[in-house]
């Protein structure tokens, strides 16, 4: 039962709880009109201390499509955060008005602080370079719909594996399935953090290799998960400029990939996928963004305990 639960990191839900979410998302995709009043009378707050397009809009669209309502901010300086209010006081106040809060914050652990300050469900919509569990739900639903299973997949993760919170969350989530292999494609400076390598990959005996050249491994992949180099997390602009265009997926590289490989990206993209790739049927990142709304509809219904 997910009723009343917060989602702070991908492992908060068991694989069978995730399966329930995927099944509900499937039903919503098949017949969205059945759910247009599911959350009537419910109110959700979106507290975004960092910019967002997909996560905030898809959460808000999800709640509105379920017949619920939304309040919140996308610019914290328009709230009493600008006067120095703590996360704890903000969430305790917001909980007086709404049934569910979705929070994005540049500080790692901020949504957990919010969760510990209230009985209301809190959803982590991305905390610093740490985790982004609802992007992971989006990625998993996309993989399930497009590949049909999670087992026996070779997943290439390419780009900024150091700061890319979506990568950290996805590796954690996929580590629970059978015979998953990861190929980690990054420059030395943007390697996957050691704590993820040790605590997730090595601890769970998961096969992985680290490489610097995409061309050498693209043919082996079932999924290529591209990521943006995260300018906002660099301390030094020169390092960002040096690394930002290191990987550019173009049609030439796509020709080296298998016909059934799929390309995912949490978006936004900058230069890492050439626009010419968008028309390749294997490029699924905009479809992935749409799945994100449906899985968030399922998540909102589940944590609010509404059925239809």
Judged by the rule CB under 6 A, the positions of this chain that interact with ligand CP are 52-55, 126, 135, 266-268
Q: Phi and psi of 144, rounded to 5°?
A: -65, -45
Q: Which of 240, 280, 287 is nearest to 261 (CA)?
A: 280
Cis? peptide before 266, omega within 30° of 0: no
Q: Which is nearer to ligand CP, 57 or 208 (CB)?
A: 57
Minimum Å distance from CB 173 to ligand CP? 15
213-217: which pairs have CB atoms within 8 A and are 24 or more residues apart? 213/185, 214/156, 214/158, 214/185, 214/247, 214/249, 214/253, 215/253, 215/256, 217/156, 217/183, 217/185
Minimum Å distance from CB 107 to ligand CP? 16
Minimum Å distance from CB 234 to ligand CP? 17
39 with 165: CB under 8 angstroms?
Answer: no
Q: Which is nearer to ligand CP, 56 or 246 (CB)?
A: 56
Q: Which is nearer to ligand CP, 52 or 302 (CB)?
A: 52
Q: Which is nearer to ligand CP, 90 or 135 (CB)?
A: 135
Cα–Cα distances in angstroms (integers) from residue 8 to residues 5, 34, 92, in the given order: 10, 29, 17
Minimum Å distance from CB 265 to ligand CP? 9
Q: Which is nearer to ligand CP, 190 or 267 (CB)?
A: 267
Give Cα 21 distance to the centre of its chain.
15
Minimum Å distance from CB 32 to ligand CP? 22
Minimum Å distance from CB 49 to ligand CP? 12
Q: Phi and psi of 78, rounded to 5°?
A: -90, 5
Minimum Å distance from CB 52 to ligand CP? 3
C-beta atoms surrounding 62 within 10 Å: 26
Q: Which is nearer to ligand CP, 165 or 246 (CB)?
A: 165
Q: Which is nearer to ligand CP, 217 or 226 (CB)?
A: 226
Minimum Å distance from CB 254 to ligand CP? 22
Q: Which is nearer to ligand CP, 224 or 267 (CB)?
A: 267
C-beta atoms surrounding 154 within 10 Å: 17
Can you point out the beta strands (E) in the chain? 43-48, 69-73, 100-105, 122-127, 154-158, 181-185, 207-211, 223-226, 262-264
C-beta atoms surrounding 109 within 10 Å: 16
């Amino acid at each position: 039962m997910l009723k009343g639960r917060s989602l702070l990191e991908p492992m908060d839900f068991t694989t069978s709880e995730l399966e329930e979410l995927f099944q509900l998302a499937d039903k919503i995709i098949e017949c969205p009109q059945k759910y247009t009043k599911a959350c009537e009378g419910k109110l959700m707050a979106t507290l975004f201390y960092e910019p967002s397009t997909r996560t905030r809009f898809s959460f808000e669209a999800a709640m509105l499509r379920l017949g619920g309502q939304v309040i919140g901010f996308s610019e914290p300086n328009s709230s009493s955060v600008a006067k120095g209010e703590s996360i704890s006081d903000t969430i305790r106040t917001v909980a007086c008005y709404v049934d569910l809060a979705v929070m994005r914050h540049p500080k790692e652990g901020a949504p957990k602080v919010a969760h510990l300050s209230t009985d209301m469900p809190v959803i982590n919509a991305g905390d610093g370079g740490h985790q982004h569990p609802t992007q992971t739900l989006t990625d998993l639903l996309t993989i399930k719909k497009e590949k049909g299973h999670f087992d026996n997949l070779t997943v290439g993760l390419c780009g900024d594996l150091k700061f890319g919170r979506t990568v950290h969350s996805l590796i954690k989530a996929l580590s629970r399935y059978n015979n998953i292999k990861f190929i980690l494609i990054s420059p030395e400076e943007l390697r996957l953090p050691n704590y993820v390598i040790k605590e997730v990959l090595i601890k769970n005996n998961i096969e992985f290799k680290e490489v610097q050249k995409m061309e050498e491994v693209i043919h082996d992949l079932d999924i290529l998960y591209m990521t943006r180099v995260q300018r906002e997390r660099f301390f030094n602009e020169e390092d960002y400029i040096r690394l930002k265009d290191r990987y550019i997926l173009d049609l030439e590289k796509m020709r080296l990939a298998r016909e059934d490989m799929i390309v995912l990206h949490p978006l936004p993209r900058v230069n890492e996928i050439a626009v010419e790739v968008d028309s390749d049927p294997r490029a699924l990142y905009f479809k992935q963004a749409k799945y994100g709304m449906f899985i968030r509809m399922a998540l909102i219904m589940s944590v609010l305990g509404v059925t239809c």
